[in-house]
Chains A and B, each alone.
Chain A
Amino acid sequence: MFGGARSKRFVVGSLCAMGLLGASCAPETRLEGRNGRSVEFWTMQLRPSFDDYIGGVLREWERQHPGVTVRWVDLPASEIESKTLTAIASGQSPDLVNLNPMFANKLATAGALKKLVIPPADRQLYYEAAWQANTVRGAVVGVPWYLSTTVTFYNRELWRRFDLPDGKWPTNYAELAQVATQIRERSGKTAYAFMPHFGDRGKFMEELALDGVPLLGTDQSRAGFDNQKAQRTLRFWSDLLTSGTLPREGLTQGHREAIDRFQGSQTVLFPAGPQFLKMIKQNAPGLYANIAVGPQIAGESGDVGVAVMNVVIPTGSKEPELAYDLARFVTNDANQLAFARLVPILPSTIRAARQMATDLANAQTLEQQAHRIGLEQLERARLLVQPLPHQSELAKSLDDALARVVLGIQEPSTSLKQAADEWQQILARP
């Protein structure tokens, strides 16, 4: 049965199979490296919309760096964090990655990002808030790319239907609560003013900051929100949710749900970055024709928050100098201005942002108006939540504090006290 010739054939076959298996497990060869140096650049959900723009920027950079090629990889926003993590952990790190500061903070805390030394002359080209979002434990770990401030979109048809005066948008949270109550009553409880999204980690932390509540105490080792001001904020949101003025599933749902509800004309207003108009225009063109745009509705502090997208260099990068050079090139004035002319994002360099504001002085279209409002707000915007150690856990602790009150389990004072105790334990960890 196991004749010699057949066995030999079998052994040879097995070895071939093992060889194939081994070959398939070998690390991917970066072909670019054979001819010269290469830089791998990962971006977040920019293809195919910006193929021409990003491709053009990268080709220009390659032209300025003969012998160096850029391998551009674009990943969906929902996957970029896990892919970055697994790539770094497996030693296949990209050289430059486009990330949000919250995840960059996690990577930096774990020592996976290069600390950058930014010359003062370079630093002052960008908005200071953008650098703050990239500063973890005193070290700069990323270069700011594009920014966003929140504007408010209004469904004018619904706004008028619920007897609200056209163009008289709420300017602060007190007015917003009145509007929300009126909408709920006049709609016969079929519509809501808007969809809160406390299911997004850190959202309640932002609301506290918008009301001017300090998150950390003066010594930075304990919570700063165990006070009446924070209790007021907590009470404000829990009252809106428990009374049914705003949908209670706002406790567990994210921003995606808020977009869907607005696009489905189930909510009257939608706070978001100007760039979301593009999505609404595509998904709900009928609604788009009826949208008006206003500034961010302010909390007690009157502050405007800024959201930051950055580019970071993992410590596993084999070409950190080239990666930094590429990061500065992608985020320079000219390239950011060109990008902002394509899509209503806000440049992180001051000169490009001001040039863009000049370009939009006579804003005509809805997108231009939203873009202009976003840019005007940028001049006074601040980073609402500084990168914190163990930020996800701290944020969850505050999310739970809100949930306990909304669900009637605790009073605001007790719930915030519990969260403050949890913060102290979390902050004490290395």
Chain B
Amino acid sequence: MAANTGTALNGALHQQVRTGRFTHVLAPYLYLLPAWIILVLFLLGPLGYAFYLSLTAYNGLTPPKWVGLANYGHLLHDSIFWKSLGNTVIFLLGVVPTLVIASLLLAVLVNRTIFGIGLFRVAFYMPVVISMVAAGLMWKWIFAENGLLNYVLSGVFPWLADAPIPWLSRPETALAAVMVVTVWKGLGYYMVIYLAGLQTIPNDLYESAALDGASAWQQTWRITVPMMWPSITFVAIVSSISALKSFTEMYVMTKGGPLDASTTVVYYLYQQSFDYLNMGYANAVGMVLFVLILAFSILNLRAFENSSPQG
């Protein structure tokens, strides 16, 4: 009887230990489960489905038909796609360095404790909270042939009064005009990120540098920039991703024209999907963009890690 009781107790104990081990192993996965479900439902699932659709002829309304790699093959010979890719790269090269540098300078400028500085900070941040559609419309008036920019320029170059520049309808200037709006709209946002970084740099560093006779330029280059490197990396990556995905500016200001001169990859994707109902092909464009953003982000990260002034 006692032996039986002992065996039963042992069994129960083993059972408890087994259950304990089971929950010990299972529990972390259960903790991760909600996040995984969300990731699968809203990220990995749609990504996989988008990849599947990129291998089909699909108009969004009737069932997709399998075409294998035909959409990707077509992309190779699609001159507008290559043009849009080129435009996207130009856009990236024009916008990202400007945003990284100009917003840092702006942050340094407003990182002072003088009367009314808050007003300047708010003023610089204001474009961020304006909707891109409203901003696009406003800048359209500025860039119009009889708009503000030509009016101001004609004061300096009188011949412009007779031959104003159609900024938004010339292939050479349309994309540049859109880039100006993107930079104007993004400056304040990145300025705030830099400002937060700047305010974490201990003042002692500048004081001791000043005691050692370091000039303002040396202080900026030897203290501010190294301390700000994580922020700079972050701004570079985030603004690159944002530039690669830009769409609204073109949609509002130029409709991708003239002659696709301001068509970016995302605008082309939109055109293919909603204008022409080539959803399968649009998904192939989307997959290329995804790979591009991924590769660019990794490269960006590596480049900044390797070139960090802190070593």
Q: A: which residues have CB within 8 A of B?
A: 2, 4, 7, 10-11, 14, 17-18, 21, 25, 81-82, 85, 88-89, 106-107, 110-112, 189-192, 199, 201, 244, 247-254, 257, 266, 390, 392-393, 399-400, 403-404, 406-407, 409
Contact = CB atoms under 8 A, between A and B. Distances in A.
Interface string B29-42: 01101100110010
Contacts of B59: 110
Contacts of A107: 61
B19 interface: yes
Contact of B61 (A89, A191, A199, A404): A89
Top-9 shortest CB links A-B: A248-B166, A112-B61, A2-B27, A7-B23, A110-B61, A252-B257, A251-B169, A110-B59, A249-B169
A266 B151 CA distance: 15
Nearest to B28: A2
A261 to B, nearest CB: 9
Interface stretch (B189-197, B198-206, B218-226, B272-280): B272-280
B258 interface: yes
B259 interface: yes
Interface stretch (B114-122, B140-148, B241-249): B140-148
Q: Contact size class for B?
A: 35 or more
Interface of B: 16, 19-20, 23-24, 26-27, 30-31, 33-34, 37-38, 41, 59-62, 140, 143-146, 161-164, 166, 168-171, 174, 254-255, 257-259, 274-277
A111 B277 CA distance: 12
A8 B215 CA distance: 64
A191 B37 CA distance: 59
20 contacts: A2-B24, A2-B27, A7-B23, A7-B30, A14-B34, A21-B38, A25-B41, A82-B274, A85-B60, A106-B277, A189-B162, A247-B145, A249-B143, A249-B145, A252-B174, A253-B168, A392-B275, A403-B258, A406-B169, A407-B171
Contacts of B62: 110-112
B248 to A, nearest CB: 12
Contacts of A106: 277
Given A189-B162, A249-B166, A252-B168, A201 B258 contact: no
A376 B174 CA distance: 42
Contacts of B30: 7, 10-11, 14
A304 B161 CA distance: 38
Given A82-B274, A89-B60, A110-B59, A252 B255 contact: yes
Contacts of B254: 252
Given A253-B168, A390-B276, A392-B276, 17 more contacts: A2-B20, A4-B23, A10-B31, A21-B41, A107-B61, A189-B161, A189-B162, A190-B146, A192-B146, A199-B257, A247-B146, A249-B168, A252-B169, A257-B140, A393-B276, A407-B171, A407-B258
B26 to A, nearest CB: 8
Contacts of B146: 189-192, 247, 266
B257 A403 contact: yes
Interface of A is mostly: helix
B257 A18 contact: no
Nearest to A404: B259
Highest count of chain A CB atoms <10 Å: which of B143, B259, B274: B259
B255 A254 contact: yes
B257 A251 contact: yes
Interface of B is mostly: helix
A390 to B, nearest CB: 7
Contact of A249 (B24, B26, B144): B144
A250 B258 CA distance: 10
B52 to A, nearest CB: 15
A81 B258 CA distance: 24
Nearest to B161: A189
Contacts of A2: 20, 23-24, 27
A111 B61 contact: yes
Highest count of chain A CB atoms <10 Å: which of B27, B62, B168, B169: B169
Given A107-B61, A248-B145, A251-B257, A81 B274 contact: yes
A252 B258 contact: yes
A42 B164 CA distance: 45
A252 B19 CA distance: 69
Nearest to A17: B34
B27 A7 contact: yes
Contacts of B61: 85, 88-89, 107, 110-112
A159 B178 CA distance: 34
A111 B61 CA distance: 8
A191 B146 CA distance: 8
Contacts of A111: 61-62
A257 B146 CA distance: 13
A410 to B, nearest CB: 11
A192 B30 CA distance: 68
B289 to A, nearest CB: 19
A403 B168 CA distance: 13
Contacts of B161: 189
Contacts of A17: 34
A244 B274 contact: no
Nearest to A248: B166
Contacts of A252: 168-169, 174, 254-255, 257-258
B145 A85 contact: no
A247 B60 contact: no
A93 to B, nearest CB: 10
Contacts of A392: 275-276
A189 B164 CA distance: 10
Contact of B169 (A192, A248, A399, A404): A248
A18 B37 contact: yes
A284 to B, nearest CB: 15
Given A7-B27, A249-B169, A251-B169, A85 B162 contact: no
Contacts of B255: 199, 252-254
Contacts of B162: 189
Nearest to B259: A403
